[in-house]
Structure 1
Amino acid sequence: MSETFEVIEICAGAGGQALGLEKAGFKHRLAIELDHNACATLRANLPSEVVIEGDVADPDVWRPADHGPDGEFGHRELALLAGGVPCPPFTIAGKQLGATDERDLFAWAVQQVDVIRPRAVMLENVRGLSMPRFAGYRQHVLDQLTEFGYVAEWRLLHAAGFGVPQLRPRFVLVALQQEYADYFTWPEESEDEVTVADAIGDLLGKHGWKGLEEWKKKAAKIAPTIVGGSKKHGGADLGPTRAKRAWAELGVDAMGLANDAPQRDDVFEGKPGPKLTNEMVARIQGWSGEFENWVFTGRKTSNYRQIGNAFPPPMARGIGDAIMRALMKEGSASDRKVSQEHDPVYRVLREANGFVSSKALIKEAGLEISIPELKKRIDMLRRDFHIITEKQGSTLKYKLVAFKAFVGQGDHGRHEFFQKNRSKVS
């Protein structure tokens, strides 16, 4: 490949996405990550000069404008801006604060697209972002990218469809400049699942464990989602109570990690089976085959968090391959229809010049809902947007004022939160 396709990866973690994208043909210009241990792992696998440690939204750490058309590196057009921005604002298990969560960097990342002007964008997050709660947030993102001249689309993808033996849905945003958008097609997910037994049977049996074949019968299915946890919690285990029950059905003791595989005569009285090692967890997260030579640095618990919080490399490779094909304009351009609407109520409010009455809002949004139902949807939008209400007689009118999210404002509450909680932010 004569042309170099460079990627800047934000919130790079321990490199699951980095590895997948490099296998797809991208070369890192920068990989930016807050966590010190994850940065050490990145430096052990990528050229150390491309790894930047610090808050990705801090201009003293790096300046996105330096990589835009008029910046220091503007002569080298960036092929891809990618990243896995923090999940807690959207996770179903959390409070789903979205734009009002000081950890939210999704909106900020989208703003950098207009600053850097990459040919393509790939941002991934948890399944919670795909829920109705965030329909307005998603619509805002699509509208912003459309204004910037990109064709953007969301897709819920599943790790198991990429040969990862794990139930790990990820919600992915891909956006491309118009010139390349018609050449992009989402990767197809395979229906042939790799099981936990397939993935780690050789590792569990490396010392000749007599119970291996019986264990394989239990483990002939995919695992629950690997949970890396946060800095606020203690040692490593394989997830909350429900996940532990699922692991038990697979013959795995999820109450911690082992340092080694079972010995030949080991039995696990009163336990569902052996504990896993970090090497086994990494296999279940997708570090196998062409991806297995990645080196994790640090101690056991840190390694587990790095692995558990990562984007599975095979998923990153699959999406990266699809983006690369589009950037190289392989195949024939298609006229596929890209869904650009997630929340018609938000759309009508955003396009309005002033206040919109309840009845007009329902009509212009093309919805068949009651006014009380509309109010519920407005209240949901208010969690991410400033919306003011005006009452004329018995008629309510609404006006969209502003997005609440952090997009780089110097006076935003994120700055104070970050300074106070830096050691705890995951």
Structure 2
Amino acid sequence: MTSLRVVEICAGAGGQALGLELAGFDHALAVELDPKAAETLKLNRPDWEVRVGDVADPEVWDPTKFRDIDLLAGGVPCPPFSIAGKQLGANDERDLFAWAVELCGIMRPRALMLENVRGLSAPRFSAYRQHVLDRLNELGYVADWRLLQASDFDVPQLRPRFVLVALSKDDAPYFSWPEATPVQRTVGEELVDLMASNGWEHAEHWASRADRIAPTIVGGSKKHGGADLGPTRAKRAWAEMGVDGLGVADEPPPAGTPKGYNPKLTVEMVARLQGWDEKKWLFAGRKTSKYRQVGNAFPPPVAKAIGRQIVAALNHEGEPRLQTETATHNEVYRVLRGADAPLTTDQIYERINGALTREEIKIQLKHLTRDFDMHEGESASGEATYRLGTFRAFIGQDDHIRHEYLTQMRSKVS
């Protein structure tokens, strides 16, 4: 069996990279914008080729030099889809999801794996998802989305992630999503040894209070303050487990710390909750930088589980499965995309055979107008008509607003 090679974009501090390595992939290249995260990659894997800079900048790397790679993978920026943000999608200058899909037309990888936040699975982005699936189909890939919980893959943390996997039509019949194996360990059980490592006599008592899995760890961004464990709701969940979420500690509680004390977590503790062995994977930079690298990462065990399934598919292991028809995420998009003339709501209703109510059609039209140019007109009978225009996302355009944004905001982009 020959070695399988991966190019990873937006590699961060290596959560996905480590998981894919454990699954059986060798890194041909890793590209990362943040210098400290790139330094972390080099620190742990000095033999890897790591490029630092904007992944869409041709001066940073040349995708044509990695044609026919086995896997293209990445954790492209989350803010365009996060429910904590404005959910601008294709209109967000940071969005690289559609651009990454277009790379498949240039690099022709056998497989693609992209992960993002749960927000991308929301109805708001149904047309965006439909565009991605249809575009990958045009490029010769069979693609599917799946919402995965980190806690189903031996990570003691909720952390839902929305994952896209696409494979060539020859390899796709051999792919199946990994089976869930829910974690059995609580935060207390996972961290008690680290909590006691500085002499705290009451670590076991603390662990008995931390009797559940962690809420989603949030790394934050360079634009928003220092390191802490997330928004108010998450901090309340941490407090119920005896953890102070208002910051990150430099070290565990020392001897003599009171029994009822609510400690802060250290970076090493957060790394373990993300699925890293904190002794084997080191992080470059100061505390806040380290925490952001850890908190924004894709948990290695989840990446490993998906990676193993991709390896099995690329090696054609097992019996091929019958390919079921890909789910339709936005019926209205599909109809308008195939129409040769503007359509009214009633005409859309007829073409989808009543699969949606007219009110649902209007909702999907609203979603479409947020990510696509929509040309509205009027029929001869006075009814409103709709014709689908250009997808607004960045896919490599030289005149896209993303270039100006990155030039002005480079120091704050993470």
- Structure 2 length normalisation: TM-score? 0.97
Cα drift, residue 367 of structure 1: 3.5
> Which residue of the partner structure matches residue 204 of structure 1?
195
Name which of 200, 215, 224 aligns with 1:224: 215
Distance, in Å, in 2 between the alignment partners of 1:134 and 1:286 is 29
Residue 419 in structure 1 maps to residue 410 in structure 2: no
Instruction: Report the count of equivalent residues.
Output: 413
SS at match of 1:422: helix
> Which residue of the partner structure matches residue 119 of structure 2?
128
Name which of 397, 400, 406 aligns with 1:409: 397
- Structure 1 length normalisation: TM-score? 0.94
Percentage identity across aligned positions?
56
Deviations 1:311-334 (A, max 9, x none): 000000000000000001111111
Asked if the contact 1:209–1:264 (Cα under 8 Å) also holds between the matched residues in 2, the reply is: yes
Identify which range, 237-246 or 199-208, moves more after superposition.
Answer: 199-208
Cα drift, residue 337 of structure 1: 1.9
Residue 280 in structure 1 maps to residue 272 in structure 2: no
Distance, in Å, in 1 between the alignment partners of 2:13 and 2:183 is 28
Name which of 352, 358, 361 aligns with 1:365: 352
SS at match of 1:40: helix
Name which of 222, 230, 249 aligns with 1:258: 249
Deviations 1:193-215 (A, max 9, x none): 32111211111112342222221
Deviations 1:249-296 (A, max 9, x none): 111011111121112320277x6x1111111010011113xx851111
Distance, in Å, in 2 between the alignment partners of 1:367 and 1:97 is 30
Cα drift, residue 373 of structure 1: 4.3
Identify which range, 88-97 or 365-374, moves more after superposition.
Answer: 365-374
Residues 373 and 336 of structure 1, relative CA distance in 2, 3 Å threshold: closer
Asked if the contact 1:142–1:340 (Cα under 8 Å) also holds between the matched residues in 2, the reply is: no
SS at match of 2:174: coil
Residue 142 in structure 1 maps to residue 133 in structure 2: yes
The one-letter code matched in structure 2 to 1:335 is: L
SS at match of 1:182: helix
> Which residue of the partner structure matches residue 166 of structure 2?
175
Distance, in Å, in 1 between the alignment partners of 2:48 and 2:151 is 34
The one-letter code matched in structure 1 to 2:291 is: Y
SS at match of 1:279: helix
Distance, in Å, in 2 between the alignment partners of 1:215 and 1:268 is 8
SS at match of 1:394: coil
Structure 1 unaligned blocks of 5 or more? 69-76
Name which of 351, 368, 373 aligns with 1:386: 373
Name which of 84, 108, 114 aligns with 2:105: 114
Name which of 115, 128, 145 aligns with 1:154: 145
Residues 321 and 370 of structure 1, relative CA distance in 2, 3 Å threshold: closer
Cα drift, residue 370 of structure 1: 4.9
Distance, in Å, in 2 between the alignment partners of 1:371 and 1:146 is 28
Structure 2 unaligned blocks of 5 or more? none
Identify which range, 298-307 or 390-399, moves more after superposition.
Answer: 390-399
